[in-house]
Structure 1
Amino acid sequence: MKKFATLFGAALMAGSALCAAQAYAADDLTITSWGGAYQESQRKAFFEPFIAAGNKVTEAEYNGEIAKIRAMVEAKAVTWDVVDVDTQTALAGCAEGTFETIDWGKLGLDKSKFIGGDVTDCAVPNILYSTVAAYDTTKTKDPANLFEALFDTTKFPGKRALQKSPFVNLEWALMADGVAPEDVYKVLGTDEGVERAFKKLDTIKKDVVWWESGAQGPQLLADGQVVFATSWNGRFYNAIKTDKKPFKIIWDRQAPDWDWWAIPKGTPKLDGAYRFITFASQPQLMADQTKYISYGPANKDAAPLIDPAILPDLPSAPDNLKTVFYPDPQFWGDKGDELRERFNAWLAQ
């Protein structure tokens, strides 16, 4: 702008400043995520540096409900410019036209560098997280494996905290009942397989405390209300590292998934949304996020930049992947509504 003023005079400089201010205001992005320790990690790694680079960000939180995003898009009143979504939401939103199709050329990013980059056309992967179980080492001895922890109420009497969702719980139930991991979705895709999974869950139903937000699992464990709890690994990491809780994560049969940056279709700030995603996908910034929460960066180029001391706490650490179970996002995209309805009916029985 100084060069502009020198060439064309102070009067034009004032007009230019007004235009710049208007453009700046137009790029006041509203970025929506999941709150808690996870959004705090995004704030430190991405939002604050993005603001320092001359941008403006308004944060919002939600519980992952696609219905709210869909309603904005259908009403042509989009107020969220970038949203952090899970894989099921990314796939569903892409199929129904709720999210913009991502132009990787416009991002200036190499899709092949991103773990999961080819899963959907409508979102950019940012982290790999995992659903895991944990226990308080001062109160509970080491279980032999995940299924002993969750389903052996004789050896480990007491309550278990599980997410109030069929996702992962049905898969774990089938594996605990003897189904090989590679056959889980073949079995779960049948009526008999669904009944088998719920029959296994019946064996612990009276011993389950159901949680709905990621912070509840660690809190129930800290309060001594349960002997084992499931949640996302970053929630337990935060409890261990920040709150100094004597918890231990059970990595056996961890169930990894991605979170993604998606752009609601029709945002008036599309260019700004692209600019933010490009910024937040820089390898160094993605590596920086691991300082605040133990989720693995989706950009492969970030891996060499991660502090070696942090690596053992990431889902992607080799020792944590020995018995990994990868949920099938396409299966849940196709069958999710049906199984959630069945799950809710089972809970009400």
Structure 2
Amino acid sequence: MEIVDAQPLWDPRPGYLNTSSYGLPPRPAFSALEVALDDWRHGRTSWEGWDESTKASRTSFATMLGVPATDVAVASTVSGLLGPVGAALPDGARVLVPDIEFTSNVFPWAVHADRGVEVVAVSPDKLAGAIDERTTLVAFSAVQSSTGEVAAYDEIVAAARAVGAMVVVDATQAIGWLHRDWAAADVVVVGAYKWLMAPRGVAYAYLSPAVRDGFRPLQAGWYAGDDPHTSYYGLPLRLAEDARRFDVSPAWFCFVGQAPALQILLDVGVDRVNAHNVGLANRFRAGLGLAPSDSAIVSTDVADAEAKLKAAGIRAAVRGGKVRVSFHLYSTTADVDSALAALTR
């Protein structure tokens, strides 16, 4: 599907440049959610139909990453998915993170300070070079949420592999518009309510078979069972053999709204989305006299940028004292030009 064919599936009010905060649902996703909510309201159906969306979403997400669906766990938050990874760290472990990393990929390690776990923060551009034999785990975002900086993914992974360190990647700001060899990492976590355009309450984790047997499924419940339908009551413990044992019982309606959005992204293709998003970002950067970049996110310190954009009806965010704009499949050149007109007026 071409971008021009996909864009009519969205109904954004012009000037929405804030996908880094939350993505907008395509009409098929919003309609599916409305139907599910109405069925819930009137008690017309059972939950099994809603759960089919969870299965479809897991499969589509795995396809997007290029990994088997059996290696993907579903939950509601990134930090919740990282909890078992943090708990598996040995006493005295050394964790390396960027100094601007979002806390959902910092706090799950820092809470183990009482066991001697040390979290060391360095600037993103020095991350690969700081990895050494003392490093137990390196955790970083594929794209930084505050600045839009795209991490040197291959370089960081290679440096970690050279010393036997585990690699954990938060790809929340990347999956959906950026291709990487995601299976090269040990753990890839994603909050889906941004670039994957799910309702808030959908998260995924790719858990490599090479490491996940060392994690304890601390949130195990019926949905993590080998057969959830026969795992409602009592012992014995009977968890799934694959990554599903790390599943958390899903917020069904969120996955109902997720499945159609993921399918549209797959139909369009991440390469096309990348070209569209980065192209718009570079059009915006050029209008401000900035050099081109490889990111769909632009952080700018134009004087009074927040007030100027707000006055023009442009919705953006402020991170680190700078205005952050982000461009996704439903963004247009008109959105870019309106934002530039507001900032350069």
TM-score over 0.5 for the alignment? Answer: no
Larger Rg: 1
Select the structure that is richer in strand.
Answer: 1
Q: TM-score, normalised by structure 1?
A: 0.28
